[in-house]
């Protein structure tokens, strides 16, 4: 892999609580290469959204505390102050969120918000930017873009609004787009459209994408590489084909088994028994072992570390033979 666009090392996000400091993200490390689409998958509460937000410095601190390194173009983003971060946000690294309707300011016209997003980072004049805003709306597939650019957010459906957000995200041609559950709030049919839009733009702009989702199915359609998170930690990382062909970690295997297949009729939907432990009640040893079908005695005593499980695959499990 050539020089990665983003390199995360030992990222920690900690919150104070009545039971002491809790680590919602506990030592996460990964990299995203140029033009690569990386998926970050896990159940709700695994820490994926916090990881994504921590990259752009969006975690409120206080009450949170962020540690580790987030290297982008040689700089540790966590060391930057707000003004410097603001220059990077939207320009070099963009982010779109789960609820598109709520991500747009309801009292400003959509076109004006697009123009603002560009005016912050690009030096062009207003008129140029306004034309470009209309172009962008057209490019992300909004019909009658010239008229729609003067509309307010509440006049857009969920899918349309997410297209607008994507347009705003790529307006300044960032090197990396972070997409936090971009399709979770949308209908299934619209999901596919939005995902293919992201994929097309990533290809056209040579943009890397960090796609955060709890839906392994979406990840499988979109990503080159997958990172699986559980209870604040990475438990597996591998290219997409490897993950589906030969998942190394029992949690990954369980997630894959839960995916309903088109050819399975009448069998019950799979589920992983139990729930992910809360941060204040993490089990001793491997965090997944109470729900794991193949746990051994060792798993309840010693926490596994990430170790190679294949030529380009790592997993944190005692049963993985290097």
Partner 1 sequence: MVRFFLSRIGQTFAVLFTVSVIVFALMRMIPGDPVLMMLGDDFTQEAYQRLRAKLGFDRSLVTQYAIWLQAILRGDLGTSYLNHEHVSVLVWDAFLPTLSLVVASMLVGILVAVPSGIVAAMRRDSAWDWGSMGFAIFVYSMPSFWKGIVLIWIFSVHLRWFPAVGYVHPWENFWEGTWRLVLPAITLGTFFSGLVARIIRSSLLEVLDQDYIKAARARGVRRAALVYRHALANALIPVVTVIGLQFGTLLGGAVLTETVFGIPGMGRLTVAAILNRDYAIVQGAILVGVLAVVIVNLAVDLTYAFLNPRIRVA
Partner 2 sequence: MARPLDAEALPAQAPAAPAAGAQGGAARRWWRRFARNRGAVLGLAVFVAIVVMALFADVLAPHDPLAQGVGPANEAPSWEHWAGTDSFGRDMLSRIIYGARIALVVGVVAVLLAMVVGVTLGLVAGYYGGAVDAVIMRVMDGLFAFPIIILAIAMMAVMGFGVRNVIIAVAVGFIAPFARVTRADVLAVKEEPYIEAARLAGVSRPAIIARHVLPNVAAPIIVQAALRVSGAIITESGLSFLGLGPPPPTPVWGSMIAEGRNFIVMAPHISTIPGIALMVTIVGLNLLGDGLRDTLDPRLRR
Binding-site ranges for partner 1 (CB under 8 A): 56, 58, 82-83, 86-91, 94-97, 99, 102-108, 116-117, 120-121, 151-152, 154-155, 165, 168
Of 169-177, 179-187, 202-210, 273-281: span binding partner 2 (CB under 8 A)? 273-281
Q: Is the torsion defined by CA of 221, 224, 228, 229 positive or negative?
A: negative
63 interacts with partner 2 by CB under 8 A: no
Please state, as a whole number, how many other Cβ atoms lie within 10 Å of the Cβ of residue 64. 16
How far is it, in rounded angstroms, from Cα 118 to Cα 209? 20
Chosen from partner 1, partner 2, none, partner binding at 269 (C-beta under 5 to 8 Å by type)? partner 2
293 interacts with partner 2 by CB under 8 A: yes
Of 98-106, 192-200, 262-270, 308-316: span binding partner 2 (CB under 8 A)? 262-270
Chain mean position to CA 77: 17
Query: Strand order in 6-15's β-sheet?
Result: 22-32, 6-15, 64-72, 75-76
254 interacts with partner 2 by CB under 8 A: yes
How far apart are CB 91 and partner 1 at their closest, in Å?
A: 6
Chosen from partner 2, partner 1, none, partner binding at 274 (C-beta under 5 to 8 Å by type)? partner 2
Chosen from partner 1, partner 2, none, partner binding at 322 (C-beta under 5 to 8 Å by type)? none
Of 101-109, 134-142, 249-257, 314-322: span binding partner 2 (CB under 8 A)? 249-257
Chain mean position to CA 225: 12
Among 68, 253, 303, 310, binds partner 2 (CB under 8 A): 253
Residue 105's alpha-carbon distances to 12, 165, 173, 186, 262, in angstroms, are 31, 11, 22, 19, 40
265 interacts with partner 2 by CB under 8 A: no
**Structure tokens given for 255:** 């997630």
- Closest to partner 2 by CB, 189 vs 267, is 267
257 interacts with partner 2 by CB under 8 A: yes
Question: What is the contact mask toward partner 2 in residues 140 to 159, using x (rule: CB under 8 A)?
Answer: --------------------
Residue 74's alpha-carbon distances to 8, 28, 178, 205, in angstroms, are 12, 19, 19, 22
- Closest to partner 1 by CB, 165 vs 216, is 165
Chosen from partner 2, partner 1, none, partner binding at 40 (C-beta under 5 to 8 Å by type)? none
How far is it, in rounded angstroms, from Cα 207 to Cα 198? 10
Give 184's DSSP letter: T
Strands 93-96 and 176-180, by their bridges, are parallel
275 interacts with partner 2 by CB under 8 A: yes
How far apart are CB 144 and partner 2 at their closest, in Å?
A: 38
* Residues in Cβ contact with 53 at an 8 Å cutoff, skipping those fewer than 6 apart: 59, 180
Of 48-56, 144-152, 196-204, 247-255: span binding partner 2 (CB under 8 A)? 247-255
* Residues in Cβ contact with 244 at an 8 Å cutoff, skipping those fewer than 6 apart: 220, 256
How far apart are CB 39 and partner 1 at their closest, in Å?
A: 20
- The site for partner 2, by CB under 8 A, has a size of 16
Chosen from partner 1, partner 2, none, partner binding at 155 (C-beta under 5 to 8 Å by type)? partner 1
How far is it, in rounded angstroms, from Cα 221 to Cα 80? 35
Please state, as a whole number, how many other Cβ atoms lie within 10 Å of the Cβ of residue 18. 6
The residues of the shown chain that bind partner 2, judged by CB under 8 A, are 250, 253-254, 257-258, 267-275, 293-294
């Amino acid at each position: 892999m050539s020089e990665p666009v983003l390199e995360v090392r030992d990222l920690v996000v900690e919150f104070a609580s009545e039971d002491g400091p809790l680590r919602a993200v506990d030592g996460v490390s990964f990299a995203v290469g140029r033009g690569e689409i990386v998926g970050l998958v896990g159940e709700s509460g695994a820490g994926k959204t916090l990881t994504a937000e921590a990259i752009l410095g969006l975690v409120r601190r206080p009450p949170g505390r962020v540690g580790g390194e987030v290297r982008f173009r040689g700089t540790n983003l966590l060391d930057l102050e707000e003004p410097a971060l603001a220059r990077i946000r939207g320009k070099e690294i963009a982010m779109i969120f789960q609820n598109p309707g709520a991500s747009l300011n309801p009292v400003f016209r959509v076109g004006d918000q697009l123009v603002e997003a560009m005016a912050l980072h690009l030096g062009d004049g207003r008129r140029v930017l306004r034309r470009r805003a209309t172009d962008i709306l057209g490019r992300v597939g909004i019909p009658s873009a010239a008229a729609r650019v003067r509309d307010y957010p509440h006049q857009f459906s969920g899918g349309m609004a997410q297209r607008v957000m994507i347009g705003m995200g790529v307006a300044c041609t960032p090197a990396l787009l972070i997409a936090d559950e971009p399709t979770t709030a949308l209908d299934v049919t619209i999901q596919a459209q939005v995902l293919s839009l992201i994929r097309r733009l990533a290809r056209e702009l040579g943009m890397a994408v960090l796609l955060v989702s709890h839906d392994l199915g979406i990840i499988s359609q979109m990503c080159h590489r997958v990172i699986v998170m559980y209870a604040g930690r990475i438990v597996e990382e591998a290219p997409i084909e490897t993950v589906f062909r030969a998942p190394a970690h029992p949690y990954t295997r369980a997630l894959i088994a839960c995916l309903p297949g088109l050819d399975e009729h009448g069998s019950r939907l799979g589920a992983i028994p139990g729930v992910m432990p809360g941060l204040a009640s993490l089990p001793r040893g491997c965090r997944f072992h109470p729900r794991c079908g193949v746990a051994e005695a060792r798993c309840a005593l010693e926490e596994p570390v990430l170790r190679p499980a294949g030529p380009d695959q790592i997993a944190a499990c005692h049963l993985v033979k290097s």
